[in-house]
Structure 1
């Protein structure tokens, strides 16, 4: 896959992260499935207020995200570089689909949210090998800060005029995904999870096809 395709995939994945985060926030009453800074704060507040029972779910979400990152990093290390993105996206598809099926069978908020946190942790590894790439991750605070910094440089005439656009698009992708997630949950409830599962599956299929097509000429030239 070319860098352009990786960038496009990353923006879609960032929107997907915003989508599932909005669902998680609504369903869990203020906790997140991808924004671990927020969960860490919630965990600390629960411990500080001496309400350890309220700290259990944010702690489990943090651990699930960490475990997903560990699994994603492991898969990325063990997989040939050209197949890394399809494999990781396939892994994410399985987890998000599992979250959807779990939510439909068991409407309690805990189990499906842990699978989503696991998927979001793994998602960060999907495009980690693209140097300097910020999209496709589940956090955009850095992208928002970078947008402001690059815009300031552009206005001062010390940087590229449109160098801030890429980071701005990352933040906008998360915003749009979160908005769509909130609207979808309001209309479809837990069935809204079918949408990110389908998107992840489509991305996996496209990435697989593109990798196969790129591998074919390489194999032909080698022979």
Structure 2
């Protein structure tokens, strides 16, 4: 009979612990990035009436504007949605070109948000483009954590996955991971509250706080083992 603890069992235990630790760190990172997204979205929405990261809302508004014959608003919203798509594409490209490191992506996000905050409402459309591209890029920072799909700048998918997981749990299925979907939702909610308070006192310049947070997260990402970051990021 084999002893209770064989080298193979030790290896399996070590891999399991590593897997859990990578998941916990990843979810903490996701929560912080979602705070940034919620904060930025709330600032942009309160200052201009347009969403910075919630493109479902802008898509509905675009459809309504078209139906009401508001051509100028429809054109503006179309450009904002396209900026978000471009930001997502750029995020993947930057992630690949930098060897799947998070800090260059987050550093550029910080610079774009800094530019948006400095432009202010004097160059509103340019500032919104900058902030929206930054939020699109942010989605490439984390796409999954231990196999769980993650959305950073929108939470409809997270709530849907949580709700479906809850339904399966009520039916007696014991799948793991669905509770983790509350992390990006909670982060975005907290960030939006914070962003609303900042916008109340600073106006559109509150995006400078978003820039500072993005820069801090870029530095914090250097503390995460690179191989973990590579697993979180775009493939």
The TM-score by the shorter chain falls in which range? 0.7 to 0.9
Confirm or deny that 1:88 pairs with 2:102.
Answer: no
Q: In the alignment, which residue of structure 1 is the partner of 2:194?
A: 180
The answer (yes or no) to whether the contact 2:31–2:186 under 8 Å persists in 1 is: no
The answer (yes or no) to whether the contact 1:143–1:167 under 8 Å persists in 2 is: yes
- Could you tell me the TM-score, scaled by structure 1's length? 0.83
Q: In the alignment, which residue of structure 1 is the partner of 2:8?
A: none
Q: In the alignment, which residue of structure 2 is the partner of 1:23?
A: 43
Q: In the alignment, which residue of structure 2 is the partner of 1:140?
A: 155
Shift of residue 3, structure 1, vs aligned partner: 4.2
- What pairs with 1:88-167 in structure 2 (closer than 5 Å)? 88-103=105-120, 106-128=121-143, 130=145, 132-135=147-150, 137-160=152-175, 163-167=177-181
Shift of residue 123, structure 1, vs aligned partner: 0.4
- Could you tell me the TM-score, scaled by structure 2's length? 0.79
- What pairs with 1:172-211 in structure 2 (closer than 5 Å)? 172-210=186-224
Q: CA RMSD in A?
A: 2.3
Shift of residue 108, structure 1, vs aligned partner: 4.7
Deviation per CA, 1:47-84: give whole Å up to 9, x if none: 22222111122111111111111111111222213x2x
Confirm or deny that 1:48 pairs with 2:62.
Answer: no
Deviation per CA, 1:156-192: give whole Å up to 9, x if none: 32125x7442112221211111111111111222232
Shift of residue 2, structure 1, vs aligned partner: 4.1
Q: In the alignment, which residue of structure 1 is the partner of 2:33?
A: 13
Distance 1:23 1:35, change over 3 A: same
Q: Which runs of 5+ in 2 are unaligned?
A: 1-20, 229-235
The answer (yes or no) to whether the contact 1:86–1:208 under 8 Å persists in 2 is: yes
* Secondary structure in structure 1 of the residue aligned to 2:69: coil
* Structure having the higher Rg: 2
Distance (whole Å) between structure 1 residues aligned to residue 111 and residue 185 of structure 2: 26
Q: In the alignment, which residue of structure 1 is the partner of 2:78?
A: 59
Distance (whole Å) between structure 1 residues aligned to residue 155 and residue 87 of structure 2: 19
* Secondary structure in structure 2 of the residue aligned to 1:107: helix
Distance (whole Å) between structure 2 residues aligned to residue 94 and residue 5 of structure 1: 25
Shift of residue 100, structure 1, vs aligned partner: 1.3
Aligned residue pair count = 207
Confirm or deny that 1:4 pairs with 2:20.
Answer: no
Distance (whole Å) between structure 1 residues aligned to residue 195 and residue 30 of structure 2: 18
* Secondary structure in structure 1 of the residue aligned to 2:122: coil
